[in-house]
Amino acid sequence: MSLLKTKLQAVLAEKNSKVIPTNIRAGVTLFGVEGNLEPDKPDQTKNATPSTVAQTIQADTGYELAQVNIAAVDNTIDANILAGNIKTGVTILGVAGTVVEEDPEHADYDDCVTIADEILGTENNEGESGDV
């Protein structure tokens, strides 16, 4: 019987080496060994709204964060992204600008023509007047 006893002891020793707390679910006791293995946490998916400030997305307690969905950034991120606030020829987040900038070299000239026309009581349809 010593051969049978030797084989049985070998099997029990191998089995006992596997009966450790990290192999047993927390709250369960096997062969006098209390387990501490925490069950897998369920996956969680979260949605985030784009913002002009940095954000930290964390899983709720008891969950593993599997995925974060962030919407595409568009002009709704800032109320000031309007066509009337953007220069013509420039598009920001899908909004094409409509602001026409005056040429600074001609702005003074146009003002002078307007004032001269008012003073002299003349109107120049071609946008030019005499010496100003």
Give the residue-averaged pLDDT of 10-27. 80
Look up tokens 């596997």; give the residue. Answer: 18
Per-residue confidence (pLDDT) for residue 104, from 0 to 100: 65
Residue 64 lies in a domain: yes
Residue 24 lies in a domain: yes
Give the C-alpha separation, 6 to 11, whole Å: 9
Per-residue confidence (pLDDT) for residue 62, from 0 to 100: 86
Per-residue confidence (pLDDT) for residue 90, from 0 to 100: 94
Residue 27 CA to its chain's centroid (Å):
40
- Across 1-10, 12-21, 22-31, the highest mean pLDDT is recorded for 22-31
Give the C-alpha separation, 17 to 11, whole Å: 10
Residues 6 and 30 in one domain: yes
DSSP-derived secondary structure for the chain: -HHHHHHHHHHHHHHHHH--GGGSBTT-EETTEE--BPPPPPEEEEEE---SS-----PPTT-EEEEEEEPPP-GGG-TT--GGGSBBT-EETTEEB-BPPP-HHHHHHHHHHHHHHHHHT---TTS--S--
Tokens of 56: 């930290």
Query: What total of structural domains would you count in the chain?
Result: 2
Per-residue confidence (pLDDT) for residue 132, from 0 to 100: 46
Residue 29 lies in a domain: yes
**Which tens digit of pLDDT belongs to each residue from 19-73?**
888 888 888 988 788 989 888 888 999 999 887 788 899 999 888 888 999 888 8
More reliable by pLDDT, 5 or 90: 90
Name the residue range of residue 66's domain.
40-70
Residue 125 lies in a domain: no
Residue 23 lies in a domain: yes
More reliable by pLDDT, 60 or 130: 60
pTM, full prediction: 0.39
Residue 38 DSSP code: P
**Which tens digit of pLDDT belongs to each residue from 81-129?**
999 999 999 999 999 999 988 766 666 666 777 777 888 777 655 555 4
